[in-house]
Amino acid sequence: MSDASVATLTARIVQSHGKGFFVELADGRRYLATARKKKTDIAVGDYATILLINEEQAVIESIQPRSSLLYRSDEWKSKLIAANVTQIAIVLAAVPSFYEELLSRCLIVAEDAGIEALIVLNKSDMPETAAARLTVAPYTALGYRQVELSAKGSVEPLLPFLAPHLTVFVGQSGMGKTTLINALIPEARARTAEISEALDSGKHTTTHATLYKLAGGGELIDSPGLQEFGLHHLKVEQLVELFPEFRRFLGQCRFANCRHDREPSCALIEACERGEVLPQRLALMRKLRAEIARVGKR
């Protein structure tokens, strides 16, 4: 491609592999792209301004404004998950057992980003699912949507929830997320192999996230399995608002600056004692407040 034909275009980030990305133009053409100045704040789902280098390669010049951004953070660093998504699907299963706190953290992320949350209870054909259903029930009672299925059986129950959205799938390893993705998108496995070959990195390739279009409408982003979900990027003063069941009790405490810890006449503590607030949710709010405060002192 000659210098005269070099063009700046808008493309979408559809796959992330370490410092390399695949970008897609509106007409479906794909390019292997790198970012200028080793820019790292790029997520799958982003729209980027790119500069075409040749028929296969491009450079990411800048990232366009986002409607949403999901990321997790610990005491040391932050990791982007996906951009411009409208829904997060949290994949759970009874076997192996899932961490209820991880579910709650994912729901908090959805509240913070202002996007829909969907609880996907996979492996519904297993006898252990009855107990898992009881664990999830309080969260559906809060208004969060839930769908049950077996990825090895049929994914049909999930399709109506996906059609209107760009959904990011998250979940612990072992929840059957990969099986679910492969059932929804049969070509997913082949696409991953194709990209690994293009990057010449084989089994050492680390896929951070991949965007797929669904035949029945909607799109999804597959993210790697995770075992924890740090929320150190949140602000202490906004935490209570991210628990929807807490909101109706705000402003009812004796003290205006109540921390909902040991203060007398705390509306949240009293609601918890009456069974109107889950004790594990109040405990998580306190835990997150301590985590965020600790990071702020570093």
Domain boundaries, the chain: 3-63, 69-222, 236-296
Look at 107-116, 209-218, 221-230, 266-275 and tell me which has the smallest mean pLDDT: 221-230
Please calculate the CA angle 199-189-16 and round it to the nearest 5 degrees: 40
Looking at residue 231, the DSSP 8-state letter turns out to be B
> 227: helix, coil or strand?
coil
pLDDT for the residue 5? 52
| 161 neighbors 147 (Cβ within 8 angstroms) | yes
Confidence of residue 267 (pLDDT cuts 50, 70, 90): very high
Total-model pTM = 0.88
CA quadruple 223, 229, 234, 238: dihedral positive or negative? positive
Question: Which two three-digit tokens encode residue 292?
Answer: 């965020």
Superfamily of domain 3-63: NigD-like N-terminal OB domain (2.40.50.500)
pLDDT of residue 193 exceeding 90: no
Alpha-carbon gap, residue 269 to 58, rounded angstroms: 55
Q: Which CATH number fits domain 236-296: 3.30.450.20, 1.10.40.50, 1.20.140.10, 2.70.70.10?
A: 1.10.40.50
Phi, then psi, of 117 in degrees rounded to 5: -120, 140
pLDDT of residue 4 exceeding 60: no
Q: Which CATH number fits domain 69-222: 1.10.3470.10, 2.60.40.420, 3.40.50.300, 3.40.50.970?
A: 3.40.50.300
Confidence of residue 2 (pLDDT cuts 50, 70, 90): very low
Bridge partners for 238 per DSSP: none
pLDDT one-digit tens code per residue, 72-94: 876 666 788 999 999 999 999 99
Q: Which are the contacts of 75, defined by CB distance < 8 A and separation ≥ 6?
A: 230, 232, 291, 294, 295, 298
What is the rounded end-to-end Cα distance, in angstroms, of the chain? 50
CB burial string 267-292: b at 16+ within 10 A, e below = bbbebbeeeebbeebbebbeebbebb
pLDDT one-digit tens code per residue, 120-168: 999 999 999 999 999 999 999 999 999 999 999 999 999 999 999 999 9
For residues 141, 88, 41, 44, the Cα torsion angle rounded to the nearest 10 degrees is: 180
> 233: helix, coil or strand?
coil
